Structure 1
Amino acid sequence: MKYIYLIVTLICFSVLRSNAQATREVRGTIIDSTKLTLPGSNIKLTSEKGDSVIAIADANGKFAFPEVKGKNLTLAITSIGYQAVKKHFNLDNNNNAVVLPPIILQSETKQLNEVTIVGVNPVVFKEDTVQYSVGAYKVRENAPIEDVLKKVPGIDVAKDGTITAEGKQVTKVRVNGKDFFGGDVQSATKNLPADVIENIQVIDDYGDQANLSGVKTGEPNKILNFTIRKDKNYGYFGQATAGDGQDALPKNPGVTNDNRYIGLLNFFKFKGDQQISVLGSINNTNVNTFSFGTPTGGGGGFGGGRGGRGNALRGGGSSTTNANGITDARSIGINFRDQWGKTVSVYGSYSFNDNTVNTNSSTLQTNNFQTPSVSNQISNETDKPQNHRFNFNVEWKPDTVNYLKVTPTFSYSGNDVVSFDNVTSTRGGVTNLAYTSNSISNSSAPNFGFTGLYNHRFNSHGRNLSIDFNANSSKNSQYDNPIYDYTVGSGTAPMNQVINTDNRTNSYGANLSYLEPLSKVSFLEFNYAYNHSYTSSNKETDTLYTADRYHKYDLLSNNYDYTFTTNRIGLNYKYVEKKVNYTLGIGVQPATLSGKSDKTSIPTKINTFNVIPTARFDYTVSRSQSLRFSYNGSSNQPSFDQLQPVTDFSNALYPVQGNPNLNPEFTNRFSLRYNNFSFQTGNIFFSNLSYTSTNDKIVASTITYPVKFTQAVLAANPSLKNLQNTNLTQYLNTSGYYQASAFVVYSKPWSERKYTLILNGNVNYTNNIGFSGSVDSNNVASAIEKNIAKTFTVSPGVRFRVNINDIIDAEANTSYSINKTSNSLNTPLYSANTNIRTLNIGLNGKNYFWKDWTLSYDYTKSLNYGYDPSIGVKNPNLLNAYVERRFLKDHRGTLRFAMNDIFNENTGFSTTTNGSIVTQSNVNRLGRYFLLTFTLRLQKFSGKSTAPPDAGRGFRGPGGGGRRPGGDSDM
């Protein structure tokens, strides 16, 4: 018995001792207010049992303490850029492992000092969003947000202000999730101060309806969203610039150098949900505040068809170094946003510009037809575009389950054009046609539109109904008067035409989506879309009959109406988990294209039926890695010019004739994207692959007519006289068109981002189709031959950045681009094959001296190879520089002396390929001038933040995968 008592005593002692020393594992996750994990957070644990240990959150924001003795725990959490917090937990008496609820950190509202900015995580990957922290890309105070974008890997800012992200052009900009000036890109990037922006979000946007339901199909638009810093959401920022200068061109006797001037005004007021922005400018330095598109010219030239010459370089960019032509610009605009009560959010804008653009260009066009030809054109054109744009958005959220958004829009564009062209065409080395053309054109195009979206969420499990509807009415009235003077060859187009065209298009449509949850992670969506458009056109052409009288030319006049109607029915299955998110679906789309012309009593009616599968797969490897694959299909209706069954002779050398029997195109798109960011090294890697093929691709078929028909042919068919010595462009459907592209960028920073190496590259291959034929002098047509134009472009680049605060912010870069086209049709005399190469070497940056002085420089050396020497190609040295001095309290005043195009070599060159036609162009740009400007900045921010956190918020899609309409964040 003594041994039994001893054994029992020992067991009890062992149990009591083990209980006294029992430990447990404690795990948790650190996230921010948007539910994004925060890697690198520091967590210190203490307890009543003497625990005092520290853990660091991993790449997924997770932490663990494997042996915790106490049950009353205190966790102190710190993370760079976030407010430090302490959390207290009382655990149960058992020894089971504990998973704490996610610990939420709030963003630091104080302005971060220099040390903490270096520690900000620069990149965050979301489902459809890549988010960059502005604090990680340091710029000097008062710099525009465009200066930050130039530093961000994967984003490219061209000299004309155009922005591409991950190889795709950005089409819209938002501020705190709402369109800014109707989404106008450059109005935001060139004017918003970087000081007030917290994050830059690059978003693949599938539209409001997809953001509500979470089922995203189709081709997304690439947009930017800027989120305002919380300490800047109450206050104002104003900036005014005035400048005067002088051209510095070589003086000629009797010529007075032109004066250069600029006046800019920016004003931003933030009051919580209320935002007011005013932008205005007046200048003759090629600075456009708003982007309304390229001016539409008149008159006749290359490219075929009224309203444009086909020059690859035309009209109004917004950079003083890369905009074509010389522009006098005047613009004004206002953007407004507010929250009306708890349920209504409103935002909208009005923009206006009134410009004058003078463009000189030299163009060489090689036409690789059965009877090849080469055409040279020298042009001088003055455009006076005027644009108005208005939009207003009302979002109503009466409760947590209903949402309504309505958007009326109005735009107006008009243009007055005067142009002069000198054209020479050769066949077989012999000049067969030469003429000069004087043309006057004016146009007006008002457009009214309305869109609406209603969403109802039936329950918290994801059952959802949304209806999107739209209506639009647009009119285009145009007057053209091209006058030709033939110096070589017989007249082709009538020598004096007056062309009046009135087009009107009315369209409306609706999209319905119903989402049914099958489980917590799977959903079934039914969708239906109806779209209908009706276009009517009345074209009347008069030709000169006597010195003071015109008469209608029935051969070139026409009334043509057509409608395009589609019905699309689809079914999608969506699966959503933390790391895996995919959509599989199928749709069918019958379409009807019908038209009628007063030239024929037989109407045109074409029915098509397409089966459209849908696939999208998202795999989140970790917070820093993501992979996406997607497929979608879409149809595209022919344009009016491609359908109208009459010949347009407003271009003497290249008349155009539509084909009313065209089918709509159908395009298949595949894409693959992989993103990776290392929290440890800061390395960033992006890659995109895409492939597009188009069935029933609408392509050009060019018929070359003889210099002269025989008298017998003209006697039998007098209308052929106008086709003599021309290349008639017609249209037809074909298969075989496809395009493949790849984009990659790798960024490696080191030494706390003082130095960054960026490697990037684009590759594109296009298999284009064209057709050509010829007619001899006896009106005998040859067989139509098919030409396959294979275009390969590749452009690798290297950038090296140095950013040492208040000392230097500079970048050295180089890129080499190859644009090579080979055609299956070639002749011994003329080859339409091209091999254009361009080497660019650049250095740009800012050096800071004596605290308030800045020296800025932007140098580019371009070496162009492969252009035809007849267009006057050069290898320009482009250097812009300025010296700037800050003064007054808080650096409110800035005096700048700028020198633009110091070597006076600014000229633009390009090459384009369309079927069997290769076009090389040289266009003028603003040359050397000096400018002295004074800028005054006033700002005051209180940092107050009292708006409710969910004010104006819409719905999230199933599983949190969708975004509210307009973006990811609210004020």
Structure 2
Amino acid sequence: MKFLFTILSLILFIALKTNAQTGRLVKGVVKDSTGYLLAGTNVKMLTGTDSTTVITNADGSFAFNNVKVNQFSLVFTSIGYQALKRRFILQVDNKPAILPAVIMKTETRMLNTVVIADVNPVKMKEDTVEFNADAYKVRDGAPVEDVIRKLPGMDVDKDGNITAQGKSVTKVRVNGKDFFGGDVKTATKNLPAEIIQSIQVIDDYGDQANITGIKTGEPEKVLNINIKQSKNYGYFGQASLGGGRDAIPGISNDKESDRYVASASVFSFNGNRQLAFLGNLNNTNTNLFSFGGGGPRGGGPGGPPGGNNNSSNGITTARSFGFNYRDSWGKKVTAYGSYSYANNSVNTISSTIQNNLSNTNPSTNTQSNNQQDDKLNHRVNFNIEYKPDTVNYVKITPTFAYASTNTNADGSSLLIRNAQTVSNYTFSTLSKSTEPNYGANVLFNHKFNTHGRNFSVSAGAGSYSINKYQNPVYTYIDGARNAPLNQFINTDSRTDSVGTTISYMEPVSKKGYLEASYAYHYAYTTADKVTDTLAGDGTRNNYDLLSNNYNSTFITHRFGLNYRFIDKKYNYVLGLVAQPTILNGASVMAGQPFKTNNNTFNWAPTARFIYNFSRNQSLSVNYNGSSMQPTYTELQPVTDFSNASYPVQGNPDLKPEFNNTLAIRYNKFNFESGNVFFSNLSFTKTDNRIVANTITYPRNYAPNTKLAGSILTQYLNADGYYSAQGFYVFAKPWEKRKYNLFMIGNILYNNNVSYISNVDSVTYNMTTEKNIAKNLVLSQGARFRVSITDVIDAEASTTYSVNTSRNSIKQANVNNNFRSLNLGINGKSYFFKDWTLSYDYSKMIYYGYTGATNPNILNTYIERRFLKGNAGTLRFSVMDVFNENTGYTTIQNGSYVTQTNSNRLGRYFLLSFTLKLQKFAGKRPAMGPGGMGGPPPGGGPGGPPPGGGF
């Protein structure tokens, strides 16, 4: 009992002693000189020999618990602000203390004496999310792409394509200016990470919107890479050379093929003048540039989408180089532009199963195809910006692009309907096409002396052409012989367009503005198609029914009137848009003229609302309406038999589509925990949606034997189409982002509309049904990343995806439920200081794909850095170690469901050497006595040089 009493007395004494030592709560708030609350500020409390650091939260407040002293100092540090130290003396008691507001001044010179405990990794401002590159450490010599892989909401696939917050990044800029015409992978794969200050993800509405603030239409996702000021002078150069084989001696007996890579990149920085040169030669599916088609609604064939090693369909031999230039011509003119060249050869072997939907005549088409494409691309972009004074701005942008494609394809097609062979044939196709595309745009903006009054006008003109020759040859084995056996098809199309946009903004109150805009667009398209057939005696005959001369004029006017209100916390735009369109067309086919005249009028409200809860939490809502014209293929009233089983016929009576889009975005970053949450949701409803009407003809169709047994695609306008898309990412870091957990989800729902028609085999009467295809694409993924500089940078991931469709026209024995599970681990381990082991393993498990295997893909390399400054790197790579690389894709719409299996680059090994040389400085190097040392003209200490970076 005495022992128990002693223990209880001791516990009571400790409790009383602890309570007597309990300190007080000390809290306060940090602002800048304008009253803006500074979240993310480091606040360090100094109490004698002890110190404690906290970070201000979203409302700029901070708090210290259990402060046991009455006198202490606080040190405040924040990026972009002068460091501040304050001494405080409190009353002798334990009451909570609220300190006076702390006001920090902006920093006008470089901080060189303040050591910041941690950088602010994320900043948000309306349409921009900015990531501080120093917060996402990578190994010396790594490209910018390695930094992007670590950013919350960003994803880089194995081809180097980038998505940001669920949407594809379509353009990259460096210091606010297009780099190599905005080509995405050119910058991210070649710029060294150590020269990067920050990376911005921007919803970009175009040059005119960036100047005026009047934003209409759908924005592009643009990546802007800002260069550190300390890297404004100097150079960076890198060259690689490597060789290898497909088969590995002692491991595989596969037929050997040589693999090779050769690349070089040089970047030169001299203040305002920046130069870049890139070159690449390889047969490992690595493309230096991406070239897209220039026509409407997807355009014609351009270059390949760009690949990286063995993850692209087909086998590619790539030859490419390019040059980028930027400089200031005096104090008022900035010029920048680029030239890109690519000459690629691609061999693609694929097999496709296509289930054609129909209530009465369902069919299955099995195709095989071996295709060789030789693609040539040139692209020139140039920009001249002229700022004669502080109120006027002029930008002139000429562009030119040229693409040509030569294709040789061989394959077979078997179409089965109701357990009977409809057609069975082999084919060979030779096609050649050229696509020149050129234009120019001029932008002028004038700011009046009155605050907020602004006038802007943009005018442009361009021409886009497709000249295409096709020679499809069919050899029928069984079934209907509908298409001509040997065709010579020449198609020449050209679209000339001009347009202008005028905007004016007038302040009507201290925070309110009236915006008026007008846009005009005129496009004239000509499409001449001539089809010849080869007779049995070898003579060529013109086929009038497959030839025509078509032209169309598409004119749109867009009138807009908005009211904009701008406050510190929020801003909104409310208005109305009216858009009349005129579509006229004329055609002559087989001597018979056709004319169409479609006039439509659409109007839609304009609404945009942005609320900034803090500088790191925002909500935006945006609604807009826009029209889209039909392509000449959809309008041209002639039958195209370049694919015998699936001929296509245009409809000259089509109306333009009109899209109504609502988009909601919510972003939040928590300074205290480091948690990041990005989300967006969009909904689109389309009036007069251009949809397919697939007509199934019986094998014995007598009125037109060319259509017998085929499935003809025509086009109609229909209402009822809508789509919804959602995305979210949640990132949870620990230990200053050494450990990160990412949860990522995507959902896409399409309510597709199509028409299914069938021709009776006896009466030849046609019946047509409307099909509603409800397509759901869903994916959920999780990633866990460990990033310890110079030790390990690794990530484990898993993604489960669903692609399913329900059709109102029911059809048995057609699988429309496809799923896949992707398990992976990738990373780099660093050891012995200069050695690196890289590994990228993924296991794909497919559900619902006919004949699909579940490949194990492992790419790995080991490398050694050496020479002074780690200038040299020797690497040994083995790609697709298990030789199981294959590609499976599926497409579902209201007319068919397809599964495609394509070849990909398989196992190979490669030994390569890379030499890297670099030297940078923050200012122009001194020239000695009488030289030209000192900072660049016009750039104050710590301030950016005129014109920025590239």
Give the aligned partner of residue 171 of structure 2.
172
Give the aligned partner of residue 771 of structure 1.
755
Between the aligned partners of 1:904 and 1:722, the Cα distance in structure 2 is 45
Superposed, 1:830-869 pairs within 5 Å as 830-831=813-814, 833-869=815-851
Identity percentage of aligned residues: 52
Between the aligned partners of 1:897 and 1:660, the Cα distance in structure 2 is 58
Between the aligned partners of 1:552 and 1:226, the Cα distance in structure 2 is 56
1:743 paired to 2:743:
no
Between the aligned partners of 1:675 and 1:189, the Cα distance in structure 2 is 24
Give the aligned partner of residue 649 of structure 2.
657
Secondary structure of residue in 1 paired with 2:766: coil
Between the aligned partners of 2:677 and 2:28, the Cα distance in structure 1 is 34
Q: Could you tell me whether the CA contact under 8 Å between 1:899 and 1:928 is conserved in 2?
A: yes
1:679 paired to 2:671:
yes
Give the aligned partner of residue 916 of structure 1.
895
Q: Which amino acid aligns with 1:934?
A: F
Aligned residue pair count: 885
Superposed, 1:851-890 pairs within 5 Å as 851-869=833-851, 873-890=852-869
Between the aligned partners of 1:469 and 1:417, the Cα distance in structure 2 is 37
1:903 paired to 2:903:
no
Q: Which amino acid aligns with 1:776?
A: D
Secondary structure of residue in 2 paired with 1:219: coil
Secondary structure of residue in 2 paired with 1:459: coil
Q: Could you tell me whether the CA contact under 8 Å between 1:633 and 1:667 is conserved in 2?
A: yes
2:797 pairs with one of 813, 818, 835? 813
Q: Could you tell me whether the CA contact under 8 Å between 1:762 and 1:796 is conserved in 2?
A: yes
1:620 paired to 2:620:
no
Between the aligned partners of 2:37 and 2:429, the Cα distance in structure 1 is 60
Deviations 1:527-555 (A, max 9, x none): 00000000001110000024432121111
1:932 paired to 2:911:
yes
Give the aligned partner of residue 793 of structure 1.
777
Q: Could you tell me whether the CA contact under 8 Å between 2:288 and 2:306 is conserved in 1?
A: no
Distance 1:583 1:489, change over 3 A: same
Q: Could you tell me whether the CA contact under 8 Å between 1:80 and 1:119 is conserved in 2?
A: no
Which moves more between the two structures, 256-265 or 778-787? 778-787
Between the aligned partners of 1:111 and 1:758, the Cα distance in structure 2 is 35
How big is the shift at 1:88? Answer: 12
Distance 1:908 1:230, change over 3 A: same
1:340 paired to 2:323:
no
Which moves more between the two structures, 557-566 or 156-165? 156-165
Give the aligned partner of residue 70 of structure 1.
none
1:351 paired to 2:340:
yes
Q: Could you tell me whether the CA contact under 8 Å between 2:284 and 2:310 is conserved in 1?
A: no
Which moves more between the two structures, 773-782 or 192-201? 773-782
1:321 pairs with one of 310, 325, 344? 310
- Structure number with higher relative contact order (C-alpha < 8 Å, ≥ 6 residues apart): 1
Give the aligned partner of residue 106 of structure 2.
104
How big is the shift at 1:389? Answer: 0.2
How big is the shift at 1:217? Answer: 2.3
How big is the shift at 1:580? Answer: 0.6
How big is the shift at 1:430? Answer: 2.0
Distance 1:902 1:56, change over 3 A: closer
Q: Could you tell me whether the CA contact under 8 Å between 1:39 and 1:62 is conserved in 2?
A: no
Deviations 1:154-212 (A, max 9, x none): 01111111111111111000000000000000111111111111101000001111111
Give the aligned partner of residue 283 of structure 2.
284
How big is the shift at 1:252? Answer: 14
Q: Which amino acid aligns with 1:885?
A: R
Q: Could you tell me whether the CA contact under 8 Å between 2:39 and 2:671 is conserved in 1?
A: no
1:638 paired to 2:637:
no
Q: Which amino acid aligns with 2:892?
A: T
Give the aligned partner of residue 79 of structure 1.
77
Give the aligned partner of residue 203 of structure 1.
202
Between the aligned partners of 2:538 and 2:366, the Cα distance in structure 1 is 33
Give the aligned partner of residue 147 of structure 1.
146
TM-score by length of structure 1 reads 0.87
Superposed, 1:561-710 pairs within 5 Å as 561-599=551-589, 600-709=592-701
How big is the shift at 1:727? Answer: 0.2
Distance 1:900 1:627, change over 3 A: same
Q: Which amino acid aligns with 1:642?
A: E
1:545 paired to 2:535:
yes
How big is the shift at 1:888? Answer: 0.5
How big is the shift at 1:490? Answer: 2.7
Between the aligned partners of 1:110 and 1:497, the Cα distance in structure 2 is 74
Distance 1:107 1:137, change over 3 A: farther
1:376 pairs with one of 355, 366, 370? 366
How big is the shift at 1:108? Answer: 5.0
Secondary structure of residue in 1 paired with 2:266: strand
Superposed, 1:388-537 pairs within 5 Å as 388-537=378-527
Give the aligned partner of residue 22 of structure 2.
none
How big is the shift at 1:579? Answer: 0.8
Q: Could you tell me whether the CA contact under 8 Å between 1:499 and 1:542 is conserved in 2?
A: yes
Between the aligned partners of 1:781 and 1:854, the Cα distance in structure 2 is 70
Distance 1:316 1:523, change over 3 A: closer
Q: Which amino acid aligns with 1:330?
A: R
Q: Could you tell me whether the CA contact under 8 Å between 2:416 and 2:422 is conserved in 1?
A: yes
Deviations 1:534-589 (A, max 9, x none): 00011100000244321211110000000100111110111111111111110111
Superposed, 1:213-228 pairs within 5 Å as 213-228=212-227
**Which ranges in structure 1 are unaligned for 5 or more consecutive residues?**
1-24, 46-52, 66-74, 90-96, 297-304, 955-963
Deviations 1:674-731 (A, max 9, x none): 111110010001111111110100000011001113xxxx4xx4xx010001000000
Distance 1:62 1:179, change over 3 A: farther
Between the aligned partners of 2:260 and 2:293, the Cα distance in structure 1 is 23
Distance 1:368 1:189, change over 3 A: same
1:780 paired to 2:731:
no
TM-score by length of structure 2 reads 0.88
Deviations 1:789-823 (A, max 9, x none): 11111100010011122111100000100111111
Secondary structure of residue in 1 paired with 2:147: helix
Q: Could you tell me whether the CA contact under 8 Å between 1:295 and 1:383 is conserved in 2?
A: no
Distance 1:31 1:863, change over 3 A: farther
Q: Which amino acid aligns with 1:895?
A: L
Secondary structure of residue in 2 paired with 1:267: strand
Q: Could you tell me whether the CA contact under 8 Å between 1:316 and 1:327 is conserved in 2?
A: no
Between the aligned partners of 2:599 and 2:62, the Cα distance in structure 1 is 61
Between the aligned partners of 2:113 and 2:172, the Cα distance in structure 1 is 25
Q: Which amino acid aligns with 1:163?
A: I
Q: Could you tell me whether the CA contact under 8 Å between 1:683 and 1:748 is conserved in 2?
A: yes
Between the aligned partners of 1:253 and 1:77, the Cα distance in structure 2 is 65
How big is the shift at 1:508? Answer: 0.5
How big is the shift at 1:124? Answer: 0.4
Secondary structure of residue in 2 paired with 1:188: helix
Q: Could you tell me whether the CA contact under 8 Å between 1:295 and 1:315 is conserved in 2?
A: no
Secondary structure of residue in 2 paired with 1:598: strand
Q: Could you tell me whether the CA contact under 8 Å between 1:30 and 1:62 is conserved in 2?
A: no
Distance 1:285 1:26, change over 3 A: closer
Distance 1:337 1:307, change over 3 A: closer
Deviations 1:605-637 (A, max 9, x none): 000000121101000001110001111111000
Superposed, 1:111-150 pairs within 5 Å as 119-150=118-149
Q: Which amino acid aligns with 1:228?
A: I
Distance 1:448 1:772, change over 3 A: same
**Which ranges in structure 2 are unaligned for 5 or more consecutive residues?**
1-26, 47-51, 65-72, 88-98, 924-934
Distance 1:509 1:87, change over 3 A: farther
Secondary structure of residue in 1 paired with 2:509: coil
Between the aligned partners of 1:881 and 1:55, the Cα distance in structure 2 is 42
